């Protein structure tokens, strides 16, 4: 007797259906898609901010979850901080300990679940060779980043708001930037200078002119600015070049308001670790409360409700996708 035909399992079909539906939930950009690239998005936002004198606010996201939250609230760009990767995900100081792959992991996680472009900190380029820099930029763009910033510190870099920084000669930084330009397709290349605190304002401005005119940088990040008049000098010396102000808390730069920065020619305003520092303080309070009280009941008031967390990641859409896939498999 002929054997009865075996019934095919519906599991692969269910899995495929679920993957397709969840892909729609995430809204991920497929490779080869005709949609606008992250680099083109960031450039458009940057130039609109520059031309209208309404600075673009960029907030740091140390996880894909906080990136989604920032996007949901209405921010048009997010930031992957090198210090954030070191602190939040490696638990080490931001002293050149992180590598390219450490940052790429965070960038890929973020860009898979957000549609706003990300500015990414690549320190000094992650390697001693110009070929390392080209690779870094290519990898970042392929991971979905819209812009990168690279600094003119020596490879053994330090936090931009701490003492004893050292910078490379202008020509070496120009070579770094030229390598970055060769590695990019549409990504925005931002040059960061840490020279203001070391060499003074005039030298920092001269460096930035070379970074734009010879290196090909699209925009400038002047680190550790202490006075609005300094930003005014940068903007006057670099007409047509978007400038970024880094408003990191507890550093050398005062926490100016958006209109004050617009008045001195700032086009981009960065809040690199604001959310992380608030999360860190909240986590400390929760841990201490649990230790002291022997329960988490008293610190529950400090927490987002479960349903609020679900709203951030659109959890219910995933559940509906699973239910729809299961129904189709029957």
pLDDT, tens only, 156-190:
787 767 777 889 999 999 999 999 999 999 999 99
- The whole-number pLDDT of residue 18 equals 54
- Please give the Cα distance from 202 to 237 (Å, whole number): 10
Q: Provide the pLDDT for residue 26.
A: 55
User: Any catalytic annotation for residue 151?
Assistant: yes
Choice among 79, 106, 194, 271 that is catalytic: 79
Largest CA-CA distance found in the chain, in angstroms, rounded: 94
Q: Which of 121, 139, 141, 218 does the annotation list as catalytic? A: 121
Considering the chain, what percentage of its residues have pLDDT values greater than 70?
Answer: 89
Residues in the chain: 330
Catalytic residue, candidates 43, 109, 149, 176: 149
Asked whether residue 80 carries a pLDDT value surpassing 50, the answer given is: yes
Of 55-59, 89-93, 227-231, least confident by mean pLDDT is 89-93
Active-site residue 149, yes or no? yes
The yes-or-no verdict on residue 5 having pLDDT over 60 is: no
pLDDT, residue 28, reads 46
Contact 80, 111 (CB under 8 A): no
More confident of the two residues 112 and 20: 112
How far apart are the C-alpha atoms of 138 and 184, rounded to whole Å? 6
In the structure, what pLDDT confidence band is assigned to residue 30 with cuts at 50, 70 and 90? very low
CA pair distance 211, 190, nearest whole angstrom: 9
Name the catalytic one among 134, 194, 218, 223.
Answer: 223
CA distance 64 to 74: 16
Residue 161's pLDDT is 76
At residue 253's C-alpha, the angle toward residues 106 and 211, to 5°, is 70
Q: What percent of the chain has pLDDT over 90?
A: 77
| pLDDT interval class at 144 (50, 70, 90) | very high
Reference 39, options 143, 123, 130; nearest CA is 143
Per-residue pLDDT tens over the stretch 270-328:
999 999 999 999 999 999 999 999 999 999 999 999 999 999 999 999 889 898 888 88
Tell me which residue has tokens 């950009």: 29
pLDDT at 163: 73
Reply yes or no on whether 182 is catalytic: no
Q: Specify whether 123 is catalytic.
A: yes
Q: What local confidence, expressed as pLDDT, does residue 309 receive?
A: 94
Mean pLDDT of the chain: 90
Q: Which of 139, 151, 152, 218 is catalytic?
A: 151
Catalytic residue among 109, 192, 207, 208: 192
Asked which of 15-24, 201-210, 285-294, 309-318 is least confident by mean pLDDT, the reply is: 15-24
Residue 159 appears among annotated catalytic residues: yes
Our answer to whether residue 219 is catalytic in this structure is no
Indicate the pTM of the whole model: 0.88
DSSP 112-143: HH--S-EEEE-TT-SSSSHHHHHHHHHHHHHT
**pLDDT at position 58 over 90:** yes
């Amino acid at each position: 007797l002929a054997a009865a035909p075996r019934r095919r399992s519906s599991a692969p079909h269910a899995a495929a259906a679920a993957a397709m539906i969840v892909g729609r939930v995430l809204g991920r950009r497929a490779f080869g898609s005709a949609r606008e690239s992250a680099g083109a998005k960031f450039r458009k936002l940057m130039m609109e901010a520059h031309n209208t004198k309404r600075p673009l606010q960029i907030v740091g996201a140390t996880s894909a979850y906080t990136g989604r939250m920032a996007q949901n609230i209405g921010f048009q760009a997010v930031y992957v901080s090198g210090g954030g990767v070191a602190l939040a995900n490696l638990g080490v100081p931001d002293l050149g300990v992180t590598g390219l792959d450490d940052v790429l992991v965070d960038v890929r996680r973020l860009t898979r679940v957000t549609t706003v472009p990300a500015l990414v900190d690549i320190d000094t380029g992650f390697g001693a060779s110009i070929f390392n820099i080209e690779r870094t930029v290519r990898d970042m763009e392929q991971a979905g980043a819209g812009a990168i910033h690279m600094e003119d510190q020596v490879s053994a870099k330090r936090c931009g708001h701490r003492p004893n920084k050292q910078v490379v000669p202008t020509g070496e930084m120009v070579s770094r930037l030229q390598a970055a330009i060769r590695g990019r397709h549409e990504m925005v290349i931002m040059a960061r200078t840490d020279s203001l605190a070391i060499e003074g304002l005039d030298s920092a401005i001269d460096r930035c002119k070379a970074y734009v005119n010879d290196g090909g940088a699209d925009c400038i990040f002047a680190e550790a600015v202490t006075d609005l008049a300094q930003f005014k000098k940068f903007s006057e010396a670099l007409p047509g070049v978007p400038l970024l102000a880094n408003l990191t808390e507890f550093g050398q730069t005062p926490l100016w308001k958006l209109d004050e920065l617009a008045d001195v020619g700032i086009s981009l305003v960065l809040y690199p670790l604001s959310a992380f520092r608030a999360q860190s303080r909240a986590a400390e309070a929760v841990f201490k409360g649990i230790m002291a009280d022997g329960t988490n009941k008293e610190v529950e008031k400090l927490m987002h409700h479960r349903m609020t967390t679900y709203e951030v990641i659109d959890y219910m859409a995933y559940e509906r996708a699973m239910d729809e896939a299961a129904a189709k498999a029957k």
